[in-house]
Amino acid sequence: MRDLRMSRRRVLEIGGALGLLAATGLSGAAALSRRPPVTGAELRSAVPLPPAFSVPLPIPAVLAPVSTSGGVDRYAITQRETTAEILPGVRTPLWTYGGTFPGPTIEARRGRPITVTHRNELPVPTVVHLHGGRTPADSDGYPTDLVLPAGWPDATHHGHGGHAMAGMHDPRAVHRKLTRDYTFPMDQRSSLLWYHDHRMDFTAPAIWRGLAGLHIVRDDAEEALGLPSGSRELPLMIADRAFAADGSLDYPALDPTLRGQPGVRESYLAGVLGDVILVNGAPWPVHEVDAARYRLRILNASNARHYELEAVLDDGRRLELVQIGADQGLLAAPVTHTSLPIAPAERYDVIVDFAGVPVGSLVKVVNRLGSGRTGDVMAFRVARKATDDSRVPAVLSTDLPSWNRADAVRVREFSFRAGQLNGGHGWLIGGLPFDPARSDVTVGLGDVEVWRFVADVHHPVHLHLVGFQVLSRGGRPPLPHDAGLKDTVSLRPGEAAEIITRFDGYRGRYLFHCHNAEHEDMGMMANLEVV
């Protein structure tokens, strides 16, 4: 990809992006003023769905280490098929980490390394990526670094990186049979991360089937703040799904075995949306709370669905959402919102105070971008008065980097647009579909760079290895929810945004890509080599 200056051609390209919007049913100026709320097409479930706010909110279990000796915490996770009751009375086959969806939560301490041994008992190869992890490249889950299930033919020695379909050759792919150790130094800020499958061409359906879990990094400085904790700290993994008549998760895969032909049926090329909103794997759940402050650690683990979250009381009043953290940990100072947009893979750390809410009443978390049942997410029932000694300090962290445009050794620009892939529809970065063997971007370890992204439709753009700051959006200062250190920035249709980061940490082969998982599988990914 090239370094570009703002040019006449750029302007024309942005015009082209709007042209695509026109092709999807919106025309030029109208597209910008009336952006479509989502990019993707919705599947309709074929089983009866439960009423909202009737199923209790599950909290994913925290995984116990198998050993803590030698300064390393060791964990073991078996990836396996199971059946779970997600909708009351309906049995749903899943692909899971350790038998549950979401998978077990890993709790790590900053600076204390962990090793997770993953064992693949699924019928297809897998790859584990710790999203937001500052991870050496050999444990980062490059999409061709496969863990092969028993009996899977290993094509590596035939000169294929195990990727027969598109005939792509990846000489650097490292395959393991059955198990693989992933080592995470955890030399990073306290934050909510998540782990998920990352196999080339098949990430979207694998996550959809259940391969996602939470990973929390904690440290002393954060614990000293006095934020709500224990049962008043709630991880919330939001994900939409749809259910087929037999109870299975519906997904428009061209090859439902996920072994051969990648991709989805034509009407879902822009992204797969479900009509059921799950939080921690439960449909529109409800959770009983004290009339006190809670810390909500929200992840959008949906493939393609964007949400705009609000907490609404019975009388229509909205509770403040006090943002204390972003993708990569605590903000410098709290930012108060009444409405919070969240794109796939983004995280927000939010304090909600239920103290003023009448006991017995319901606080609904709604999605302003949804309609009908996708307009609801979950609810809190305020059950009792309670004492509250938690605090939300005015200063949350003092270790955030402060990069300036003047520090950048270069500016790069990338378009995120629809295009051709193997003669069909694809999603491209800088006009090219992903090729593991191609060199796209090479950065120097320690260099500060500014990257400018331009989008046609919604594209949540994610960089591996580093956190970044949003410098500008649509030629203007960033929005309030762009605050802090992020690893995913949500580009809206026709929008351009700039980020700034230092490529710190480790040398090696990483990625950047769109986190609309269908776009990612259909080419919208590129190599980032740190040298």
Residue 5's nearest CA partner among 498, 408, 411, 474 is 411
Binding mask 502-521 for Cu ion (x = CB under 5 A): ------------x-x--x--
The one segment of 50-58, 213-221, 361-369, 510-518 that binds ligand C2O by CB under 6 A = 510-518
Residue type, 16: G
The one segment of 39-47, 108-116, 352-360, 507-515 that binds ligand C2O by CB under 6 A = 507-515
Residue 514 near which of ligand C2O, Cu ion, none (CB within 5-8 Å, type-dependent): Cu ion
Choose between 241 and 464: whose C-beta lies nearer to ligand C2O: 464
Please list, in sequence order, all residues whose beta carbon lies within 8 angstroms of the beta carbon of residue 108, skipping any fewer than 6 positions away: 73, 114, 184, 186, 215, 216, 217, 218
Residue 199 near which of Cu ion, ligand C2O, none (CB within 5-8 Å, type-dependent): none
Give the integer Cα–Cα distance in Å for 61 and 402: 36
Residue 236's nearest CA partner among 340, 83, 387, 93 is 340
Q: Among residue numbers 425 through 484, which ones bind Cu ion (CB under 5 A)?
A: 459, 464
Instruction: Say which residue the tokens 């279990």 belong to.
Output: 61
Q: Where are the beta strands (DSSP E) in 397-458?
A: 410-421, 424-429, 441-443, 448-455
Say whether residue 345 binds ligand C2O (CB under 6 A).
yes
**In the bound complex, what is the minimum distance in angstroms from residue 503's beta carbon to Cu ion?**
15
From the list 462, 473, 492, 519, which residue makes contact with ligand C2O (rule: CB under 6 A)? 462
**In the bound complex, what is the minimum distance in angstroms from residue 372's beta carbon to ligand C2O?**
29
Please list, in sequence order, all residues whose beta carbon lies within 8 angstroms of the beta carbon of residue 315, skipping any fewer than 6 positions away: none
* Residues near ligand C2O (CB under 6 A), total: 10
Secondary structure (DSSP) of 120-133: E-SSS-B-EEEET-
Choose between 513 and 519: whose C-beta lies nearer to ligand C2O: 513
Choose between 337 and 458: whose C-beta lies nearer to Cu ion: 458
Choose between 215 and 464: whose C-beta lies nearer to Cu ion: 464
From the list 175, 295, 364, 513, which residue makes contact with ligand C2O (rule: CB under 6 A)? 513
The one segment of 20-28, 59-67, 125-133, 323-331 that binds Cu ion by CB under 5 A = 125-133
Angle at the Cα of 443 from the Cα atoms of 437 and 446, rounded to 5 degrees: 140
Residue 85's nearest CA partner among 109, 63, 128, 56 is 56
Structure tokens at 442: 């090479």
Binding mask 361-400 for Cu ion (x = CB under 5 A): ----------------------------------------
